[in-house]
Amino acid sequence: MPKPSKNASRSYAQIKSINKLLSMSLKICHRAHLNYALILLQVSMSLKICHRAHLNYALILLQGWRGCS
């Protein structure tokens, strides 16, 4: 099995840490909202986001969950 490149490993670690921070900072109160966040992050991994702006866009989308009741 091929080893992932250092960049791929670093990106995955960054996304995992971002996911953890998001779930805490957004105080996600519904499992569905967390699942949506995870789907977005999986998409960002599979698309191998190459620009910080693209990742920022995903984070902006997630900001919408902040006010869930």
Total tally of structural domains belonging to the chain: 1
> Does 57 map to a domain?
yes
More confident residue, 14 or 62: 14
User: Tell me: the pLDDT tens digits for 25-53?
Assistant: 555 556 666 667 777 777 666 666 555 66
Share the mean pLDDT of the chain.
64
Residue 69, pLDDT above cutoff 50: no
> Does 52 map to a domain?
yes
> Does 69 map to a domain?
no
Q: What does the angle CA 16 – CA 60 – CA 53 come to, to the nearest 5 degrees?
A: 80
What's the confidence (pLDDT) of residue 51?
57
| pTM for the whole structure | 0.29
**Sign of dihedral through CA atoms 4, 34, 66, 22?**
negative
> Does 40 map to a domain?
yes
More confident residue, 1 or 36: 36
Which structural domain range is residue 39 located in?
A: 30-63
